[in-house]
Amino acid sequence: MVIPILDFSLILPEIIVVATALVVLLVAVLGRGQSAGTLIVLSLVGLAAAIIATVVGWSGNATGFNGMVVDDQFSRFLRLILLSVAALVVLLSYQDLEDKRRAGEYLTLLLFATFGMMIMVLGADLLMIFLGLETMSICLYVLAGFQRRATSNESSFKYFILGAFSTGFFLYGIALTFGVTGSTQLPLIHQKFAENPDTMGVLAYAGLGLILIGLGFKIAAVPFHFWSTDVYDGAPTAITAFMITASKAAAFAALIRILTGAFFDLNVDWVPVLWVLAAVTMTVGNLVAIAQNNIKRMLAYSSIAHAGYLLVGLVALDAQGASAIMYYLMIYALMNVGAFAVAILINHRGKGWYQFDAYRGVGHRYPFLGAMMAIFMLSLAGIPPTGGFMAKFYLFGAAVKTGHITLVVIAVLNSAISVYYYLRVLVLMYMQPEGEVNPVPRSALYSLVLVICAVGVLGFGLFPGAMITLLSQSLPML
């Protein structure tokens, strides 16, 4: 069967990312010993071209490849988030790549992981989402262990073992769903349930449950979170930022696709499950984060709590809930990438091991870094006028609108708890005597990342209207 050229135009950004990865790998192999700067520039050019292709094609909805891929405003917006995060992570990786001289392998894996995430966002078929999930996961398994030290190797091995186990759940869920409906395409599964309610039996619920387990692992929802903190702590810090933001965004996009596109008729049954997952996830993440003395582990548990907040949007999965999740993912990516950028600079070349004590007096000794970290911590805590406040306000408002007031009360209380450990960083930076602060390298690239993230966090917090209007028009096709 000949695939129409039009189908390939639907995945032009993905084609550009794959082509960029292959070019970077080829240049790295043929030009051994050269500076990593060339490869970074190539990667950024390719990601920029993919962003341009996404923006230029911002109109209409279309499906391709026999209904396996859907190109709509939902997928385009998520693509922009993934591509932007990938570009910021490439910039964050510059100094480490200069030290290691393994930029080719690193950047190729990063680009292929981004491609896998984009396929998850585009997928209108469970098998397509699975292929994207595996492409992303395999690359991240390697990137998590990219540093040549014991904790990084442990991070990679643990992520691989538990990730492969969770993939088995996801694949078995697909098999059960196919056995019940005779299809893996989301619209056809939805149609089968709508036309034949009798098919919504034990196997259908089992298939949905196993799929939720598989994706619950990727978003680090409790009780599938045990892998996350050790993996995030052992992985290179730039890759930790990438996993916490981009992979979580891709997994939530896949969840929205699957729940709205295939299993929406079972929402009476899966909403209570997600309700409990959201409440437990945000509570466990925040309570354990309080006890951390390591900034990477604190942000890791913080990401678990934020996964709980995002699950609140899934519980209230109406039009406002879906758009609120997308808005939250965008702000979440900006404030976390920015926070990790500051952490990398303060912990330059492994000195300090990301302990909280390294932040004593940083606000006085390095005013720019202190101000940037203050913006990101306040946004993570949800304090106005930052984007984090508007994201929570919009997300919790969607839940209130659909009647989940108790869950919103739990979420607000958890947000209040989180203020303690976020403000603890600010207290150390501005209200504690200076400790042994490591010399912080001056880097225009890192400063650029910090400015972009800070402007985004403050800009979308002060002027959210245009973005929220755009997102309300970017809901997934059912």
Supply the DSSP string of 275-335, one letter for each residue: HHHHHHHHHHHHHHHHT--BHHHHHHHHHHHHHHHHHHHHHT-SHHHHHHHHHHHHHHHHH
Residue 76 lies in a domain: no
Q: 341, 343, 362: which is closest to 427 by C-alpha? A: 362
- Contacts (Cβ under 8 Å, ≥6 apart) of 2: none
What averages of pLDDT result for each successive group of 10 residues across the chain (478 residues)?
A: 65 93 89 75 93 83 83 88 93 73 86 94 90 91 79 78 86 90 86 75 85 88 81 84 91 88 71 89 91 88 91 80 86 92 76 74 86 92 89 89 89 92 90 66 80 92 78 57
3-state helix, strand and coil shares in percent for the chain, rounded to the nearest 5: 80, 0, 20
- Contacts (Cβ under 8 Å, ≥6 apart) of 164: none
pLDDT reported for residue 442: 65
Q: Which residue has the tokens 């080829």?
A: 26
Q: What is the domain range of residue 305?
A: 266-478
Q: 297, 280, 282: which is closest to 244 by C-alpha? A: 297
> Residue 358: CA atoms inside 13 Å, Cβ hemisphere, count?
21
Query: Residue 311 and residue 321: Cα distance in Å, rounded?
Result: 10
Torsion of CA 443, 445, 447, 452, to 10 degrees: 180
Give residue 251's identity as a one-letter amino acid code. Answer: A
Residue 245 lies in a domain: no
- Contacts (Cβ under 8 Å, ≥6 apart) of 365: 434, 437
Q: How many folded domains does the chain comprise?
A: 1
Show the CA angle centred on residue 143, arms to residues 137 and 146, nearest 5°.
150
Q: 400, 387, 408: which is closest to 465 by C-alpha? A: 387
Q: What is the largest CA-CA distance in the chain?
A: 70
Residue 38 lies in a domain: no
Residue 11 lies in a domain: no
Residue 310 lies in a domain: yes
Query: Residue 118 and residue 78: Cα distance in Å, rounded?
Result: 8
Residue 463 lies in a domain: yes
Question: Can you read off the two tokens belonging to residue 151?
Answer: 């904790």
Query: Residue 405 and residue 21: Cα distance in Å, rounded?
Result: 46
pLDDT in tens, 424-450: 989 988 887 766 656 566 677 888 889
Q: What is each CA distance from 269 to 25, 35, 169, in whole angstroms?
A: 47, 55, 19
Give residue 178's identity as a one-letter amino acid code. Answer: F
**Contact present, 103 and 38 (Cβ < 8 Å):** no
Q: What is each CA distance from 451 to 215, 376, 443, 447, in whole angstroms?
A: 33, 11, 12, 6
**Three-state SS for 366?**
coil
Residue 133 lies in a domain: no
Burial class (CB in 10 A: 0-12, 13-18, 19+), 203: middle
